[in-house]
Amino acid sequence: MKQAYWTEMDGKDGLKHFKEEFYVKKGVLYMDGNSLGLLSKNAEKTLAEVLTDWKEYGIDGWMAGTHPWFTLSEKLGGKMAPLIGAHKDEVIVTGSTTGNLHQLVSTFFQPAGTKTKILADELTFPSDIYALKSQLHLKSLTPADHLLSVKSQDGRMIEEEDIISSMTEEVALIVLPSVLYRSGQLLDIQRLTAEAHKRGILIGFDLCHSIGAVPHELSNWEVDFAFWCNYKYLNGGPGSVAGLYVNRKHFKTAPGLAGWFGSNKEKQFDMSLEFVPSDTAGAFQMGTPHVLSTAPLIGSLELFAEAGMGRLREKSLQLTRYMMELIETELSSFGFHIGNPREDERRGGHVCLEHSEAARICKALKENQVVPDFRAPNVIRLAPVPLYTSFQDVHDTIVRLKKIMSEKQYEKFPNVREVIA
């Protein structure tokens, strides 16, 4: 493997200094940032600042201190908005991914007449399907009859033509992933939104595997709603508070699940039994914000503002392209198959590497100080996150993987996943 390329690319990388801002364990090649991002020094600092505010101010921390808690969710929503191409008041940091999906579906799924069905896909993350089935049950509708699932032709990807042809007159709501969590396929959000709206269907997207890795223009594309976690590419930490987006055209729509932190801020402490919602996406909050689980995002988003999504996406594509080239040249005789799209415009932030021995290859990688991610039945996900991954890191990952395969190191492990894959 030629050293010239990665040396040249690392030499001219305008983002390379960001690696020093993260706690990257010496000798470890961390390729799992699409599952849990690493801790940054900035995130550590802002978490400490919020703890200090609690220590110094007690309950007055809601309105005083370095990061007053009462408006923190709105403030961070505004900082997150550029990552997805949204207006500041269309984004709120709140809840969890699945909790926010429940909120949004309870709000926007209003079956009437023959329009009683929800359209999803068979490759989406299971928790989304659990939530959609629950919402159907709450409306006394059976998932077998009212949840439509777009089928994959190859078990890896979903054809957009198949999604569009499934947008029938019976569909009231569509919920799709922006990036498929196994294969890394990036769907054409703009096209799918336009096609849904032509048919009078509301559409929303799960951005868990794209936010912080792929720029979006949700407001311009008129996407109705979106939801996501913040612990992957955004490095908000395990259990980090999630986020949601609601297009301005829906600000007058009452939230399906009302709670007091969705109130107009000026009215919230009137303690009226009549709910007066915020006139922003903040209306879709429910309970009191989880301040300590939100705090690391303050520092993390500062790094994204400095780096810029355009530069991050450019480097991400270069890293994954380089990784695929090395896989093809160095691992072609070991039975691997690249299961993600090759085209830049159809690929998210990770490489999907398929192998029949994937579970135990992942264990051997960890033994060799490479942190991958296994997804059943046969996928090794490798995510060279641009904020803290160099081109040499990508090169060294494939070098270690080739050694594992050449020496058959994986054979000493059982080919079954761990409890947490």
Binding residues for pyridoxal 5'-phosphate: 97-98, 125-128, 206, 209, 231, 260, 288
Please name the amino acid found at residue 155: G
Q: How far apart are CA 103 and CA 105, in angstroms?
A: 6
Q: What is the DSSP string of 71-83?
A: THHHHHHHHHHHH
Q: For residue 110, give the DSSP letter.
A: -
CB 353 within 8 A of CB 379: yes
Contact of 197 with 220, CB cutoff 8 Å: no
Please report which residue ranges of 199-283 form alpha helices under DSSP H: 218-221
Q: Using omega within 30 degrees of 0 as the cis cutoff, is the peptide bond preceding 143 cis?
A: no
CA atoms of 100 and 245, how far apart (whole Å): 10
In the structure encoding, which two tokens stand for residue 220, read together?
Answer: 């311009």
CA–CA distance, 290 with 269 (Å, rounded to integer):
19
CB of 66 closer than 8 Å to CB of 49: yes
Can you tell me the distance from the alpha carbon of 291 to that of 137, in angstroms, rounded to the nearest whole number?
A: 33
How does DSSP classify residue 254? P
Per the annotation, binding residues are 97-98, 125-128, 206, 209, 231, 260, 288
58 dihedral zone (left: phi>0; alpha: psi -120 to 50; beta): left
Residues 156 and 352: beta-carbon distance below 8 Å: yes
> What span, in angstroms and rounded, lies between the C-alpha atoms of 384 and 391?
9
Q: Which two tokens stand for residue 407?
A: 């020496």
**Contact yes or no for 192/203 (Cβ under 8 A):** yes
Query: Cα-Cα-Cα-Cα dihedral of 343, 347, 352, 354, to 10°?
Result: -40
- Burial of residue 200 (CB within 10 Å: 0-12, 13-18, 19+) is exposed
